[in-house]
C-alpha cells in the first residue's frame, strides 16, 4: 500500500503527515493526528458523526481519503473553543440546553450547526432541522439541538452587535 | 418547550441545572472505547458466515497468516477449548453459545473466525483470505415455522426450537370471558427493530502479565458484565478490571458485547498485546447480536357493552434469533404491567420464546414492554371501534383511578402511585385536542387521510429482575442492588463514585444533584466518578429505568449517613445530644443557641486529623458506602407466577396527529404531545431529553425501522441506507407536559424515566395511522407501518389511492 505525505491546515495549524493511500480522512484525523473528537458512526456517509468542515463546508470525513484533503483547511470540534478553559458560544448553548445525551453525534451536530450559522444568524426552526437533517442522533429526538442552535444564534447576534465573538 | 413540574420543595432537585457531563462532550473531549489507544495495540476483524445455517467443515487460515502484519487467526474450535460458554438467561444446558461459531454457523453474520493484525485495515484484508468450507443447511426464519415439528432445529442438541413456553393464568379468566357480553380476537405484529446506537460496540482488552490482570475498556451497559466476563475466561473475578469511566455512545439496552469482550480478552491474553475490537456498522447490525424483540401477539379481550374491559388472553410468540442470551426474559418483564394502566381483573398470558436462524436478540429499551404496550393499546382501540365508542372515553372508563393506589394487578405487582386521568387530561390540553379534531375533520373533508392517535401506558421502573426467577426457577435472584460510595477529603471536597458506566443518562449529574441536595452543598462542587469493577461496590448497571431510583437512592442513603456522622461529631464537641443540633449547608448549629456551631471545614478537620475530638468508637475520616435494595422486592414468585416485578410505575399519555399521503403511503406527523408522570424529576433537562429521544425512537419503530430478512435468512437492512433511523425531518416538535405524583417508595418521590416515550410512541403512532385509515374501512396492526406497507394497503383498497 503506497504511502503519501499529506499537507493541510487543521484547526488553523499547518501540518504534514504520512497516510496510506486508502486511509480515510476520519481515520487520518483520529489515528494519525489523534483528534478523536470526530467520531466514526457508520462509515457509509449516512449518520454524520464524522462531519468536519473542509474549506468551510460540512463534509463526511468517512467518504474522503486523507490524500484528497491535500492543501485544504479542515476544522474539527477541537478547533471550536477559543482556549481550553472557554467554550465557543455554540458549544456553550449545546451545554445550556442539554442538546445531547451520550455525546457521540455531538461533534457532527456542532459542525452542521456551525456551517448553518456561518450562513445566517437568524435561522428558522425549519432551517435548523434542514441543516442537521443529515446528522443522526439517537438520544435527543433533536428538540434540544434545535433549541441550542436558536439560542446560539441569538447570543451570536447580540455578541456581534457588541462588535466581537464568533461561533 | 417542556412545562416544568414545578416541584420547589427542593434546593437542587427538579430545577433547571446544567449537567456535569455535557461540558466534555461539546468540547469533543469524550472518551469512548474507540478513543482508547494503548501502545502496541492490535486490531481485530471478523470472518462472518454468509449462510443462515451451515455446518463448518474446515477453516484454512494459511493465506491470511502469510499477510504481513497479521498476528493470529482464531477459530471457534480453538477458542471453545479455552473458555466457558456465554451464560444464558434461562436454564438451557444444551443451547451453548460461544463468541465464534463452533461446528455450526446459525445465522448470517455469525462470527466464524477472528483475525488479529497491526491495523484494522490489514485485519480486514486478511479476513477476506480466510477460507471456510461450509455445508449449507435448510434454515428456519419465521417464528411460526420454527414451532412446526418438521422445522430445522437451530440447536440440534436441545431438540426443539422452543426455548421457553408457559401459560400463566391470573384470576378467573374463563369465567370473565363467559360472563362478558362482548369478545374480540385479533393479531398484532411487532417486527424486529432495535436501538441501533450511533456508536457501535467497542472493547479494548489488555492482559497485564506482571499483575495477572485483564484490563477492559468497553462501551458496555450490562448487569454483572465483569463477573460473566471473568467466568467465561476462567479467571477469578479479581483478575478482571472493567474500567467504567469509558463514555458509552448510546445504548438504550443493547450495549452488551459480552461475546466481543470474551473474544478480545482471550486474544489479549493469548498474544500478550492490547487488543481492540470495534464493530463496523454491518458487524453491528448483522453480527453484533443486538436486534430487538420480534413478536406475534394473539389477543383476545372480553368486555361489556359499556366498554369496561374485564379480561385479556395474550399469546406472545417471540423470535429471539439464533441464541438465547437474556432475550427470552423480555417476555417476562411485561408480566409486571400486563394489564397496562387499566383495571382489568384477570389475564391469561402465554409466553413462547423460539430460536430461528436470525441474528440474536438483545435487551432493548423497555425490555419487551414497548411491544406489549402496543398490543394492549391496540386492543383498547379495537374495543372502542367495535363499540363505536370514543377512544378517550373508553380509556377513562378503564384507567385505574387515583384513589385506588396502591393497586395490585392480577399478576401480582402493586403499582405504587399515579393519577392517570389527570395526566391524560393534561396531554389532551397540551395537544389542543378539540382543535386537532377540527383539523382532522377538515383534512378529511378535503379528501386527505388524517388521524389522531391516543396511547396510555406504563413505564415499570427500578426493577429487581424478578423475571429471572419467574422464567428460570434455578435462578433465585431476589435482589438487584445498587451502591454509591461517598467521601469527603481532608480539604473538604466531596467525591462520589458509582460502579457502572453511563450511556448518556447523566449519572454524574444524578449523583452530584442528590448528594448536593442532602448535604446542602452546591452540586457543581461535587466530583462524581465512574469507578472500576474491582474498586466499586455492587451495581446492576443502568437497565430497567432504575438509576434515578436505585443509584439516586444509594447516593441519598450515603449522604444521609455522612450527615449523621457530621452531626455526631458536632454533638460530641458541643457537648449536646444530636437531636439538639441542626444541619445547615454543611455547618452544624446548636438549635437553642445558633452562636454555638461548628463549620464544615472544622468538622472535616476533626474527622481527618483530630482523633482526640472524635466520639468514642467512630472511625476516622469521612467515607461511606451505601448499598440500596429494590423497594418492595426480595421475594420469589408464587407457584402461579405472581411476583412484585418493579417497585415504581411511571405513566405517560400520548396524543399525536398524523396524515398519510394517499399516493406514496408516507406518514407525516403534524403534532405530538405527551403527558408524563415519573414522580419527582431530578433533572428536568435530562428527563425531558430522554423522553423526546424515546418518542423519536418509538416513531422509528412505528414507521421506519425493521431488520428485514429474506426467506433464506439473509438480512436485507444492514446499513443506514435501508434500516432507517428517524432524522430531524421525521421527528416533529414534541410537547411534554409533566405531572408529579411522587412515589411513596423512593428517596425523593422519583420514579424511572430512561425508557419514557418509547414505551407509548409506537402505540400512539399506530393509533393515529389507524384513525386515518378508518374512513376507508382499513386497519393495520403490524409495525413498522412503512411507506411500502401503507402504499400497498392503500393500493389494494377501493378508494384508497387517488
Residue B779: count other Cβ atoms within 10 Å of its Cβ: 17
Does residue B417 contact residue B405 with C-beta atoms inside 8 Å? yes
Q: Say what the pLDDT of residue A120 is.
A: 97
Q: Are residues A48 and A97 in the same domain?
A: no
Residue A100: CATH number of its domain: 1.10.150.120
Nearest chain B residue to A107 by CA distance is B28
The C-alpha atoms of residue B168 and residue B409 are separated, in whole angstroms, by: 14
Q: Are residues A114 and A70 in the same domain?
A: no
Residue A43 lies inside a defined structural domain of this protein: yes
Q: Are residues A53 and A118 in the same domain?
A: no
**A77: nearest CB among B1, B28, B734:** B28
The number of residues making up chain B comes to 802
Residue A136 lies inside a defined structural domain of this protein: yes
Compute CA distances B329 → A52, B471, B632, whole Å.
42, 7, 21
Q: Say what the pLDDT of residue B1 is.
A: 44
**B728: nearest CB among A30, A42, A133:** A133
Residue ending a domain, choose from A32, A50, A78:
A78
Closest CA–CA distance from residue A161 to any residue of chain B (Å) = 25
Chain A residues with CB under 8 Å of B719 CB are 42, 44, 46
Chain A residues with CB under 8 Å of B35 CB are 30, 36
**A91: nearest CB among B27, B199, B247:** B27
Q: Is the ipTM of this complex over 0.90?
A: yes
Nearest chain B residue to A136 by CA distance is B727
Q: Say what the pLDDT of residue A12 is.
A: 97
Residue ending a domain, choose from A18, A43, A78:
A78
Residue A125 lies inside a defined structural domain of this protein: yes
Residue A14 lies inside a defined structural domain of this protein: yes
- Residue A131 pLDDT > 50, yes or no? yes
Q: pLDDT digits over A14-55, tens only? A: 999 999 999 999 999 999 999 999 999 999 999 999 999 999
- Residue A166 pLDDT > 90, yes or no? no
SS3 B563: helix
- Residue A162 pLDDT > 90, yes or no? no
Write down the mean pLDDT value for chain B. Answer: 97
Q: Are residues A13 and A74 in the same domain?
A: yes
Residue B318: count other Cβ atoms within 10 Å of its Cβ: 24
The C-alpha atoms of residue B266 and residue B206 are separated, in whole angstroms, by: 10
**A102: nearest CB among B23, B196, B250:** B250
Q: Say what the pLDDT of residue B3 is.
A: 47
Chain A residues with CB under 8 Å of B693 CB are 101, 137-141
Residue A166 lies inside a defined structural domain of this protein: no
The C-alpha atoms of residue B500 and residue B483 are separated, in whole angstroms, by: 10
Residue A23: CATH number of its domain: 3.10.20.30
Q: Are residues A157 and A95 in the same domain?
A: yes
Residue ending a domain, choose from A57, A78, A99:
A78
* Mutate which: B22, B26, B193, vs A, most A CBs within 10 A: B26
The C-alpha atoms of residue B500 and residue B508 are separated, in whole angstroms, by: 11
* Mutate which: B15, B728, B734, vs A, most A CBs within 10 A: B728
Beta bridge mates, B243: B217, B532
Query: A53-57, A153-157, A162-166, B736-740: lowest mean pLDDT where?
Result: A162-166
Q: Is B198 left (phi over 0), alpha (psi -120 to 50) or beta?
A: alpha
Q: Are residues A11 and A61 in the same domain?
A: yes
**A44: nearest CB among B281, B696, B697:** B281
Host domain of residue A104: 89-161
Q: Are residues A47 and A13 in the same domain?
A: yes
Count structural domains, chain A: 2
Q: Are residues A52 and A94 in the same domain?
A: no
Q: Is A125 close to B733, i.e. CB distance below 8 A?
A: yes
Burial of B744 (0-12, 13-18, 19+ CB in 10 A): middle
Residue A27 lies inside a defined structural domain of this protein: yes
Closest CA–CA distance from residue A78 to any residue of chain B (Å) = 6
Q: Are residues A128 and A67 in the same domain?
A: no
Does residue B597 contact residue B588 with C-beta atoms inside 8 Å? yes
The C-alpha atoms of residue B457 and residue B461 are separated, in whole angstroms, by: 13
Does residue B491 contact residue B512 with C-beta atoms inside 8 Å? no
Parallel/antiparallel/unpaired status of strands B734-739 and B667-677: parallel
Chain A residues with CB under 8 Å of B29 CB are 37
- Domain annotation for chain B: domains and CATH numbers: 416-462+648-802 (3.30.365.10), 481-628 (3.30.365.10)
Residue A108 lies inside a defined structural domain of this protein: yes
Q: Is A98 close to B689, i.e. CB distance below 8 A?
A: yes
Residue A83 lies inside a defined structural domain of this protein: no
Sign of the CA dihedral B603, B607, B610, B614? positive
Q: Say what the pLDDT of residue A1 is.
A: 72
Q: Are residues A73 and A7 in the same domain?
A: yes
Q: pLDDT digits over A64-95, tens only? A: 999 999 999 999 999 999 998 999 999 999 99
Nearest chain B residue to A21 by CA distance is B121
- Residue A155 pLDDT > 90, yes or no? yes
Mean pLDDT by 10 residues, chain B (802 residues): 59 97 98 98 98 98 98 98 95 96 98 98 98 98 98 97 98 98 98 98 97 98 97 98 98 97 98 98 97 98 98 98 95 98 98 98 97 98 98 98 98 98 98 98 98 98 93 94 98 98 98 98 98 96 95 98 98 97 96 95 98 98 97 93 96 98 96 98 98 98 98 97 98 98 97 97 98 96 97 88 60
**A141: nearest CB among B22, B199, B692:** B692
Q: pLDDT digits over B573-595, tens only? A: 999 999 999 999 999 999 999 99
Q: Say what the pLDDT of residue A159 is.
A: 86
Q: Is A46 close to B721, i.e. CB distance below 8 A?
A: yes
Q: Are residues A60 and A115 in the same domain?
A: no
Residue B623: count other Cβ atoms within 10 Å of its Cβ: 16
- Residue A165 pLDDT > 70, yes or no? no
Q: Are residues A65 and A9 in the same domain?
A: yes
The C-alpha atoms of residue B252 and residue B543 are separated, in whole angstroms, by: 8
Closest-CA residue to B352 (of B304, B397, B420, B298)? B298
The DSSP 8-state label assigned to residue B50 in this structure reads S
Find the Cα–Cα–Cα–Cα dihedral B133, B139, B143, B146, rounded to 10°.
-120
Amino acid at each position: 500500500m503506497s504511502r503519501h505525505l499529506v499537507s493541510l491546515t487543521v484547526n488553523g495549524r499547518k501540518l504534514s503527515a504520512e497516510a496510506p493511500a486508502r486511509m480515510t480522512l476520519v481515520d487520518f484525523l483520529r489515528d494519525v493526528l489523534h483528534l478523536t473528537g470526530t467520531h466514526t458512526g457508520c462509515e457509509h456517509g449516512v449518520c454524520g458523526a464524522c462531519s468536519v468542515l473542509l474549506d468551510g463546508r460540512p463534509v463526511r470525513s468517512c467518504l474522503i481519503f486523507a490524500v484528497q484533503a491535500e492543501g485544504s483547511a479542515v476544522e474539527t470540534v477541537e478547533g471550536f473553543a477559543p482556549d481550553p478553559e472557554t467554550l465557543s458560544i455554540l458549544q456553550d448553548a449545546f451545554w445550556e440546553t442539554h442538546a445531547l445525551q451520550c455525546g457521540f453525534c455531538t461533534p457532527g451536530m456542532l459542525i452542521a450547526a456551525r456551517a448553518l450559522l456561518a450562513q445566517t444568524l437568524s435561522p428558522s426552526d425549519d432551517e435548523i432541522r434542514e441543516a442537521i437533517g443529515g446528522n443522526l442522533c439517537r438520544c435527543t429526538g433533536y428538540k434540544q439541538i434545535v433549541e441550542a442552535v436558536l439560542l446560539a444564534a441569538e447570543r451570536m447576534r447580540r455578541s456581534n452587535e457588541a462588535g466581537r465573538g464568533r461561533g | 418547550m417542556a412545562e416544568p413540574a414545578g416541584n420547589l420543595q427542593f434546593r437542587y432537585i427538579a430545577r433547571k441545572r446544567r449537567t456535569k457531563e455535557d461540558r466534555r462532550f461539546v468540547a469533543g473531549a469524550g472518551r469512548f472505547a474507540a478513543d482508547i489507544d494503548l501502545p502496541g495495540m492490535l486490531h481485530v476483524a471478523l470472518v462472518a458466515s454468509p449462510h443462515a445455517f451451515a455446518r463448518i467443515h474446515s477453516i484454512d487460515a494459511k493465506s491470511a497468516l502469510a499477510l504481513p502484519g497479521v498476528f493470529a487467526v482464531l477459530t471457534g474450535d480453538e477458542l471453545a477449548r479455552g473458555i466457558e460458554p456465554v451464560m444464558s438467561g434461562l436454564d438451557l444446558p444444551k443451547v451453548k453459545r460461544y463468541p465464534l461459531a463452533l461446528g455450526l454457523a446459525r445465522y448470517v453474520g455469525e462470527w466464524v473466525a477472528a483475525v488479529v493484525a497491526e491495523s484494522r485495515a490489514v485485519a480486514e484484508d486478511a479476513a477476506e483470505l480466510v477460507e471456510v468450507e461450509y455445508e449449507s443447511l435448510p434454515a428456519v426464519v419465521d417464528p411460526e415455522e420454527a414451532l412446526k415439528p418438521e422445522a430445522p432445529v437451530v440447536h440440534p442438541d436441545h431438540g426443539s426450537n422452543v426455548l421457553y413456553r408457559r401459560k400463566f393464568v391470573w384470576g378467573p379468566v374463563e369465567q370473565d370471558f363467559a360472563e362478558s357480553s362482548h369478545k374480540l380476537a385479533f393479531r398484532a405484529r411487532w417486527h424486529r427493530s432495535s436501538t441501533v446506537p450511533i456508536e457501535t460496540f467497542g472493547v479494548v482488552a489488555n492482559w497485564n502479565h506482571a499483575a495477572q490482570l485483564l484490563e477492559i475498556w468497553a462501551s458496555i451497559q450490562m448487569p454483572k458484565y465483569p463477573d460473566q466476563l471473568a467466568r467465561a475466561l476462567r479467571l477469578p473475578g479479581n483478575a478482571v478490571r472493567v474500567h467504567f469511566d469509558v463514555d458509552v455512545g448510546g445504548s438504550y439496552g443493547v450495549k452488551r458485547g459480552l461475546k466481543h469482550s470474551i473474544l478480545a480478552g482471550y486474544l489479549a491474553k493469548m498474544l500478550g498485546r492490547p487488543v481492540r475490537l470495534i464493530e463496523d456498522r454491518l458487524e453491528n447490525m448483522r453480527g453484533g447480536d443486538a436486534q430487538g424483540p420480534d413478536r406475534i401477539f394473539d389477543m383476545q379481550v372480553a368486555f361489556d357493552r359499556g366498554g369496561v374491559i374485564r379480561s385479556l388472553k395474550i399469546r406472545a410468540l417471540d423470535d429471539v434469533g439464533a441464541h438465547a442470551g437474556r432475550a427470552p426474559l423480555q417476555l417476562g418483564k411485561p408480566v409486571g404491567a400486563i394489564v397496562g394502566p387499566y383495571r382489568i381483573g384477570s389475564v391469561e398470558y402465554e409466553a413462547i420464546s423460539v430460536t430461528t436462524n436470525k441474528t440474536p436478540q438483545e435487551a432493548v429499551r423497555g425490555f419487551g414492554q414497548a411491544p406489549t404496550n402496543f398490543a394492549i393499546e391496540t386492543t383498547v382501540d379495537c374495543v372502542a371501534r367495535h363499540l363505536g365508542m370514543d377512544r378517550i372515553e373508553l380509556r377513562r372508563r378503564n384507567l385505574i383511578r387515583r384513589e385506588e393506589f396502591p393497586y395490585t394487578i392480577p399478576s401480582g405487582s402493586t403499582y405504587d402511585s399515579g393519577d392517570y386521568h389527570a395526566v391524560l387530561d393534561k396531554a389532551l390540553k397540551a395537544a389542543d385536542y378539540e382543535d386537532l379534531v377540527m383539523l382532522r375533520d377538515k383534512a378529511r373533508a378535503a379528501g386527505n387521510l388524517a388521524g389522531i392517535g391516543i396511547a396510555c401506558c406504563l413505564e415499570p421502573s427500578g426493577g429487581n429482575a424478578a423475571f429471572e426467577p419467574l422464567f428460570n426457577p434455578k435462578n433465585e435472584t431476589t435482589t438487584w442492588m445498587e451502591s454509591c460510595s461517598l467521601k469527603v477529603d481532608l480539604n473538604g471536597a466531596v467525591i462520589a463514585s458509582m460502579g457502572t458506566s453511563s450511556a448518556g443518562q447523566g449519572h454524574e449529574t444524578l449523583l452530584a444533584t442528590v448528594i448536593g441536595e442532602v448535604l446542602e452543598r452546591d452540586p457543581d462542587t461535587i466530583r462524581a466518578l465512574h469507578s472500576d469493577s474491582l474498586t466499586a461496590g455492587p451495581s446492576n448497571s443502568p437497565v430497567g429505568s432504575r438509576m434515578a431510583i436505585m443509584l439516586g437512592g444509594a447516593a441519598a442513603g450515603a449522604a444521609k449517613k455522612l450527615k449523621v456522622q457530621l452531626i455526631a461529631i458536632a454533638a460530641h464537641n458541643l457537648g449536646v445530644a444530636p437531636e439538639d443540633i441542626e444541619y445547615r449547608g454543611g455547618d452544624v448549629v446548636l438549635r437553642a443557641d445558633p452562636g454555638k456551631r461548628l463549620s464544615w471545614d472544622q468538622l472535616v478537620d476533626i474527622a481527618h486529623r483530630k482523633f482526640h475530638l472524635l466520639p468514642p468508637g467512630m472511625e476516622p475520616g469521612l467515607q461511606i458506602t451505601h448499598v440500596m435494595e429494590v423497594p418492595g422486592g426480595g421475594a420469589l414468585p408464587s407457584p402461579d407466577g405472581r411476583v412484585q416485578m418493579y417497585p415504581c410505575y411511571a405513566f405517560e399519555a400520548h396524543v399525536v396527529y398524523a396524515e398519510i399521503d394517499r399516493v406514496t403511503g408516507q406518514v407525516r406527523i403534524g403534532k405530538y404531545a405527551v403527558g408524563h408522570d415519573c414522580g419527582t424529576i431530578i433533572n428536568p433537562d435530562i428527563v425531558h431529553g430522554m423522553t423526546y429521544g424515546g418518542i423519536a425512537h418509538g416513531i422509528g419503530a412505528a414507521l421506519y425501522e425493521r431488520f428485514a430478512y429474506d426467506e433464506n435468512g439473509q438480512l436485507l437492512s444492514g446499513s443506514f441506507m435501508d434500516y432507517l433511523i428517524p432524522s430531524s425531518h421525521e421527528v416533529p416538535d414534541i410537547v411534554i407536559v409533566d405531572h408529579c405524583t411522587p412515589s411513596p417508595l423512593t428517596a425523593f418521590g422519583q420514579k424511572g424515566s430512561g425508557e419514557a416515550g418509547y414505551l407509548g410512541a409506537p402505540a400512539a403512532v399506530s393509533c393515529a395511522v389507524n384513525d386515518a385509515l378508518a374512513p376507508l374501512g382499513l386497519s393495520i396492526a403490524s409495525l413498522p407501518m412503512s411507506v411500502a406497507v401503507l402504499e400497498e394497503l392503500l393500493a389494494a383498497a377501493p378508494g384508497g389511492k387517488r
